[in-house]
Structure 1
Amino acid sequence: MCGHGISLRVENGSLAIKNGFTHFPQEQETFRYFRGDLDRPARIVVLDGSGHLTFDVLDWLAEQDVPLLRVSWTGDVVTVAGGSGYSADREKVAWQQATRNDPERRIAFASELIQTKIVRAAENLTLLHPKPDTLDQTRDKLAECVVLLRRAPPTSITALQGLEGGAAQAYFQAWRQTPLRWKKSKRHPIPPDWEFFGSRASVRATKKIKNRNATHPINAMLNYGYAVAVGQTKIRALANGYDPSLGIMHHEYREGPAFALDLVEPVRPLVDRAVIGFALEDELQPADFVLRADGACRLNPQMARHVVQLVAAAEQRSGDVSTGW
């Protein structure tokens, strides 16, 4: 549920739900569930939005064991109410735990994700690159990685990450020095290195090369798009009853939603496809980007909204981006 004017009420023993308004014109959706109804939802997820509910609703949800989650637009859980106070599906969380604790199952799960990611990255080179006929070496590298994953997958996550890192390096290297079109003006000059696709890493990274704090507009758009994709993946994981923090491939990752970071791996090339396609097809506007005092590049609000729309459209065109979870 999302939008403005969300309403949850108990009427004659049944739960009456009115979804919110998200655009105009729009008819407000209404749902009704009775006690013991086999079709009652496993959980109710409220994404941002505004509205109201009553204490009777909380009692009804607790009685019928239906948790209500309020989630921010980034996918972070703000509140869990009703039900047993636990929003996830215990069987699915048990599967996550068992898969991460079994080395063979863990590497199989992770290898499938990375294989899909590399295949989609190779498709991007064919679909988007201005000179695809010059990329035989890169395509051979990605194809070799896919063959290894299918025939002789790595025996550890560290080895898998090394293989994926080599594929990613070759993939992004293929975009280096690809020219970009800018609407230049004296009022909005651009740095010389913005004339072309640059390195995926920030040029101001010091001890360890990082992709954060992008110093190039393409990287800034990619980082923002990846963040949007992670947020959407967290929301889908929550709605499906998984624990977004219980990672399988990102087993030791302690700084974010590890399971969402697992699931977003095959989605990253879709973000690339949307952002790079836009950058190659359109004339970029210098005013859409802001250089901070530390040299980091950020998107202005209009460009940020556009990137969100690009990512949403790319995911919608791709259909189900999951791998069975």
Structure 2
Amino acid sequence: MTILYLTEQYSSVQLDAETLVVRIPERKETNRKARKVRVPLGKVTQVIVYGNVTLTTPAIEALLARHAEICYLTRYGKFIGRISGEDHKHGQLRLVQRRAHDDPTLVLHVARVCVRAKLHNQRTLLLRSNRVRESDSLSLAADQMGNMIALLDALPTEANLPPNPSKPQADTLLGQLMGIEGAAAAAYFKGYGELFIQPWCDLFTGRHKRPPTDPVNALLSYGYTLLISQTVAAAQIVGADPYVGYLHSTQYGKPALALDIVEMFRAPIVDSVVLTLLNNRMLGLNDFEEILGSWRLKDEGRKLFLQKFEERLNVEFKHPIFKKEVTYRRCLELQIRLLSRWLLGEFKRFREFYTR
């Protein structure tokens, strides 16, 4: 898979036979000359557009004809929308996916798998990072997360319908599960903040999304946005509906299934990339800007993040279930395939993705 990231503002993309021609304009403030980049059309599986970049109609048509999705984000990484071609023809999968959405017990099973894997992988990151540090507070955070996993395992498997349909999580097992997830998140991010060197460990006071109140939160939010986009694409490859989820509520325009699957991969992909970039001093405070209390990456920092994010997605390791070498990018698709085959009755249960 080749993902074409278009980050240079005022660039244009045209089609020339079987090649995409990216025209990047001159930037006088940095003395950079105008240039052209040629990308073989057949290698592109996804295009991610940042800000003011223009794709011609022939270029868009050629990409869609080859089932390459086009995602639009603001210049600073906030998701706007996507263009994709014809829907996958796996109608049976989408039918069983929607039936399961209305079954509280099946919803609880998927939600439990996603949250348990999330907590396990977050705890693994803390424990692995603490091998050298031997920090008591990190050990405590890991122990607290272990306790949360035990509480999760103790929940019954048969779910109940919500007493109040307008509040689907109130007084239900799903609501209890989400309460456990919230408590675990507080413990995890307290420990995660201690993994950073100065000045980042002082700036990061916990997870804050809207807006990101410090550079660490800005990186996490940006990385999660990219990861969700990758997972939506993986769902479309499999033929699942990315907008029908279980842990996350299904609402208009919300890729709930992608958000469910992403939970398992936040720590091993995005959280790890953020630690690497900041603790190895690849990014500094001058790579960020603050506007009205909201922090975000500048252009050059964003390019470096994209590079490291791609490198992480392409890391190969032995899959814990299939026992073969795969990349994290491939794992996103495999996890949705596992869910799909369980929904179709081919597997007895939907299995977690665990890191070691």
TM-score by length of 1: 0.69
Whether contact under 8 Å (2:283, 2:301) holds in the other structure is no
The letter for the 2-side match of 1:198 is F
1:175-198 CA-partner distances (Å, limit 9, x unpaired): 34556346xxxxxxxxxxx56252
Q: Secondary structure at the match of 1:114?
A: helix
**More displaced 10-residue stretch of structure 1: 263-272 or 173-182:** 173-182
The letter for the 1-side match of 2:120 is V
The letter for the 2-side match of 1:103 is P
The letter for the 2-side match of 1:278 is L
1:75-109 CA-partner distances (Å, limit 9, x unpaired): 8442545xxxx445312211220221111111111
Alignment match, 1:205: none
Alignment match, 2:58: 52
Post-superposition offset of 1:235: 1.6
Alignment match, 1:189: none
1:198 equivalenced with 2:204 (yes/no): yes
Alignment match, 2:163: none
1:15-46 CA-partner distances (Å, limit 9, x unpaired): xxx5757997977749xxxxxxxxxxxxx976
1:44-63 CA-partner distances (Å, limit 9, x unpaired): 9764676738x9x9xxx9xx
Whether contact under 8 Å (1:247, 1:253) holds in the other structure is no
* Cα distance in 1 between the residues matched to 2:82 and 2:38: 30
Q: Secondary structure at the match of 2:301?
A: helix
Whether contact under 8 Å (1:73, 1:231) holds in the other structure is no
Alignment match, 1:145: 148
Alignment match, 2:166: none
Q: Which has the larger radius of gyration?
A: 1
Structure 2: stretches of 5+ with no match in the other structure: 5-12, 23-35, 49-54, 74-78, 160-172, 316-326, 340-356
Post-superposition offset of 1:166: 0.9
Whether contact under 8 Å (2:245, 2:260) holds in the other structure is yes
Q: Percent identity?
A: 21
The letter for the 2-side match of 1:139 is A
Alignment match, 2:124: 123
Q: Which of 136, 139, 161 is equivalent to 1:136?
A: 139
* Cα distance in 2 between the residues matched to 1:46 and 1:174: 35
What does 1:1-325 align with in structure 2 at a 5 Å threshold?
A: 18=18, 29=42, 47=47, 52=58, 70-73=69-72, 76-78=81-83, 80=85, 86-87=87-88, 89-129=90-130, 131-134=133-136, 135-152=138-155, 155=159, 156-176=173-193, 180-181=197-198, 196-202=202-208, 211-254=209-252, 256-269=254-267, 270-282=269-281, 284-292=283-291, 294-317=292-315, 319=328, 320-321=331-332, 322-323=334-335, 324-325=338-339
Give the RMSD, CA atoms, in angstroms.
3.7
Post-superposition offset of 1:163: 0.9
Q: Secondary structure at the match of 2:192?
A: coil
1:264-309 CA-partner distances (Å, limit 9, x unpaired): 11121121111023212226422101011x1211110111222222
Q: Secondary structure at the match of 2:245?
A: coil
Post-superposition offset of 1:218: 0.6
1:134-165 CA-partner distances (Å, limit 9, x unpaired): 12222122122223434545742211111111
Whether contact under 8 Å (2:20, 2:40) holds in the other structure is no
Alignment match, 1:33: none
**Cα 1:68–1:200 shift into 2, 3 Å:** same
TM-score by length of 2: 0.64
